[in-house]
Amino acid sequence: MPVAVPRPAAPTPTGIAAISHDLRKLAQHFRTDKWGTHRYAQHYQRHLEHLKNESFNLLEIGIGGYSRAGQGGASLRMWKHFFPKAQIFGMDIQDKSFVDEERITTFIGDQSDPGSLVGVASKIGTLDVIIDDGSHLSPHILTTFKTLFPLLKDGGIYAVEDTQTSYWPEWQGSEDRDDPKTSMSMLKRLADGLNYEEFVDEDYEPSYTDLNIVGMHFYHNLVIIEKGKNAEGTNKKRVLKKRYSEESTKS
Q: Catalytic residue numbers?
A: 136
The burial class, CB within 10 Å (0-12 / 13-18 / 19+), for 97 is: exposed
Could you tell me which of 192, 201, 205, 197 has the C-alpha nearest to residue 243? 201
- Strand (E) positions, the chain? 57-61, 87-92, 104-108, 127-132, 152-161, 213-219, 222-227
In sign, the C-alpha dihedral spanning 106, 134, 51, 128 is negative
- Spell out the residues 6+ positions from residue 194 whose beta carbon is closer than 8 angstroms to its own: 210, 213, 214, 215, 216, 230
Long-range contacts of 4-9 (CB under 8 A, 24+ apart): none
Q: Which of 26, 11, 109 is nearest to 62 (CA)?
A: 109
